[in-house]
Structure 1
Amino acid sequence: MTKTYQISGMTCNNCKNSVEEQLGAIQDVSNVAVDLEKGEATLVMSHMVPLDLLEQALPSKYGISEKNIFDTNTSMLPDSTHAEESELKQLFPLFLIFFYIIAASALMNIDPWSGGDFMLDFMGLFYIIFSFFKFLDLKGFPASFSMYDPLAKVFPFYGWVYPFIETVLGLMFLFRFEVTIALYLTLIILGITTIGVTRTLFQKKSIQCACLGTALKLPMTKATFIENSVMIVMAILMLFRMY
């Protein structure tokens, strides 16, 4: 028998090979074919293998679930509301981090209030916090980042230095050091990343977002596009204020 499963947590070809190897080692599984872009694994089995055994065979960073038979027609999906709730639950850490960044930036500039300083502190804290999560798994981040960032795909080394670039930009904003240069760099690097994010969303690829590194498993959604857009808009507004 042949059955297709959804696999989460895969970010590169190494992940694909690992999943194929681990699932292929299970008794009664004769063949495994993994589609990295779709996040799917098709198993050929002599006998039906329980889902919990498949889960146990995979490392903890991967998740496996049965593919919903209604995937081709989402309007027929009986538990679509549950799926949306699950996605929101996955994105909760991102929303929580954004809330803390906004609150901290506001408190730093509430008396007297300064909109310009608020945006600079917001961008500074954004970079520092997001780079922190990338450093938690610096080895895994480049492969995940190259799945959608155009520059990281062509130049893998860019994925390795990206967390360091974010840290430097964050410090530049917080300490008001060469702010104009930091703003232009923000437009360039986030502009490039946003192009890749937009392309991924249009192609409806099921991949992991690397905005918070690989320590937190976040799906690539419109939220990623929005967070980048907020930073780009703030950078543009600050450049207009300066000129």
Structure 2
Amino acid sequence: MKHIYIITGMTCGSCKASVEKSLSNIDNITNVEVNLEKGEAEVTMSSHVATETLKKALPEKYTLSEKEVKNVFASTSTSSFEMEQEKSKLQQLKPLLLIIFYIATASVLLHYKDWSWSAFMLDFMGLFYIVFSFFKMLDLKGFPESFKMYDPLAKRVPAYGWIYPFIETALGLMFLMRFEVKIALIVTLVVLGITTIGVTKTLLDKKSIRCACLGTALKLPMTEATFIENTIMIVMAVLMLIN
């Protein structure tokens, strides 16, 4: 019998090999084929193996879940499954949403006495870059592998993934210090524009991969939230350039 499972946390070929080896060592599993792009594993069993057993066999950085199979005769159970999946996704995104909330709040408090939309946006963008680059710096070795899974430029130029956190840090300082703001805005449009193209393609292809926006320290799934955060920054950059 064959079963297909969703595997999250895989970022490279070594991750694929690790998952295949871990699952293959389980009794009654005769074959394991992992599709890194889709984030799926096709597991062939000689007799049934519980999903919990598969989960426990994997290293901690990977998560495994059963792939949803639509059943028109079981709409209630399917709906329940979707609700659980949505709840799990929101729990995973909680750190990202909290960080954006705190960045936005701090940017508002800095100017609430003498409000200025342009000053608010510059500080929001500056704090956004500084905070997000900090999390990427926590694992400079692991970030490039995760980043190139969806960023088109990082896929073709590996060195870009290594210097990207430093680009973010530089942009953050430029916005906060009001240094060469126009250049920083143009670079923002180019850098985030490229990334957003990759994010959009990943979402349309419905690939299950990890988002590297907060590095590898936090296990964030690639969702519409990543697209939205990039879009917000791009819109702010456009508005600032127009003004």
Q: Hey, what does 1:110 align to over in structure 2?
A: 112
The equivalent residue for 2:23 is 23
Q: Which ranges in structure 1 are unaligned for 5 or more consecutive residues?
A: none
Among 206, 209, 215, which residue is 1:204 paired with?
206
1:73 deviation in Å? Answer: 11
Aligned residue pairs, count? 241
Measured in 2, the distance between the counterparts of 1:226 and 1:74 equals: 33
Task: For residues 122-176 of structure 1, give each alpha carbon's deviation from its aligned partner in whole angstroms, at most 9, with x where no partner exists.
Answer: 0000001111111122211111111111100100110011011101110111111
Secondary structure of residue in 1 paired with 2:79: coil
Bigger shift: 72-81 or 129-138? Answer: 72-81
Alignment of 1:30-45 (within 5 A): 30-45=30-45
Amino acid at match of 1:179: V
- In 1, distance between residues paired with 2:224 and 2:68? 22
Q: Distance in 1 between matches of 2:26 and 2:211?
A: 30
Inter-partner Cα distance in structure 2 for 1:39 and 1:72: 25
C-alpha distance in 2, partners of 1:130/1:71? 41
CA distance in 2, matches of 1:177, 1:73: 61
Q: Which one of 221, 226, 231 corresponds to residue 228 of structure 2?
A: 226
3-state secondary structure, aligned to 2:48: coil
Q: Which position in structure 2 is the counterpart of 1:66?
A: 66
Instruction: Report the AA paired with residue 152 of structure 2.
Output: P
Q: CA deviation at 1:74?
A: 11
Q: TM-score, normalised by structure 2?
A: 0.93
Amino acid at match of 2:232: V
Q: 1:221 to 1:71 in 2, by over 3 A?
A: farther
Distance in 2 (CA, whole Å) between partners of 1:212 and 1:62 is: 17
Cα distance change of structure 1 residues 127 and 86 upon mapping to structure 2, 3 Å threshold: same
Q: Separation in 2 of the partners of 1:106 and 1:188?
A: 26
Give the structure 2 partner of residue 161 of structure 1: 163
**Moved runs in structure 1, 4+ residues, more than 4 A?**
71-76
Where do residues 54-93 of structure 1 align in structure 2 (5 Å cutoff)?
A: 54-70=54-70, 77-79=78-80, 80-93=82-95
> Which residue identity does 2:53 align to in structure 1?
L
Separation in structure 2 between the aligned mates of residue 105 and residue 75 of structure 1, nearest angstrom: 45
d(CA) in 1 for partners of 2:73 and 2:13?
Answer: 29
Deviation at 1:72, TM superposition (A): 10
Q: Could you tell me the percent identity over the aligned residues?
A: 63
TM-score, normalisation: structure 1: 0.93
SS at match of 1:236: helix
3-state DSSP class of the match of 1:26? coil
In structure 2, what residue type is equivalent to 1:218? L
Aligned-pair distance for 1:2? 2.2
- The equivalent residue for 2:138 is 136
Match of 1:235 in 2: 237
Distance 1:71 1:212 in 2: 36
Q: What is the letter of the counterpart of residue 56 of structure 1?
A: K
Q: Residue type of the partner of 2:115?
A: W
CA RMSD of aligned residues (A): 1.9
**Do the aligned partners of residues 124 and 83 (structure 1) sit closer, same or farther apart at CA in structure 2, a change above 3 Å counting?**
same
Structure 2's unaligned 5+ residue stretches are none
The 1:12/1:113 distance shift into structure 2, 3 A limit, reads same
SS in 1 for 2:5: strand
